[in-house]
């Protein structure tokens, strides 16, 4: 009888710990859905610089590769260095709205 109780307690604790582990893994994925990729993942030829062509190979949600690349390329030399990549901060929401208005205005002028 004691063995049966011990075995059932052991199974219950194992089941509970596995459920906790899986729920923690799921919550970690939910907290960071848009994880920033590593520089080395995008730098396909490993030359220490990102070109627009390499950057376009990276999957993005809204397909705004050129705009984001140009924002990262601070010195506008056509490539993004590791330093530029690390220092890049996406514009805040307020700036996004202003930027969208400017883009719409530019498109209307064309």
Strand partners, 50: 80
Separation of CA 27 from chain center: 16
pLDDT band at 30 (very low <50, low <70, confident <90, very high): very low
Burial class (CB within 10 angstroms; exposed 0-12, middle 13-18, buried 19+) of 102 = exposed
Name the CATH superfamily, with its identifier, for domain 39-109.
EF-hand (1.10.238.10)
What are 33-82's pLDDT values in tens digits?
556 788 999 999 999 999 999 999 888 777 788 988 999 999 999 999 99
Q: Is the pTM of this model over 0.95?
A: no
End-to-end CA distance of the chain: 84
pLDDT at 23 exceeding the cut of 60: no
- The pLDDT value recorded for residue 28 is 44
Q: Cβ(67)–Cβ(88) under 8 Å?
A: no
């Amino acid at each position: 009888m004691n063995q049966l109780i011990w075995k059932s307690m052991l199974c219950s604790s194992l089941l509970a710990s596995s459920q906790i582990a899986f729920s923690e893994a799921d919550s970690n994925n939910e907290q960071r859905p848009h994880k920033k990729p590593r520089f080395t993942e995008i730098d396909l030829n490993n030359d220490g610089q990102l070109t627009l062509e390499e950057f376009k190979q990276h999957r993005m949600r809204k397909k705004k590769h050129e705009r984001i690349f140009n924002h990262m390329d601070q010195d506008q030399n056509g490539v993004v260095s590791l330093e530029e990549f690390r220092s890049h901060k996406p514009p805040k929401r307020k700036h996004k709205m202003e930027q969208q208005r400017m883009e719409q205005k530019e498109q209307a002028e064309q």
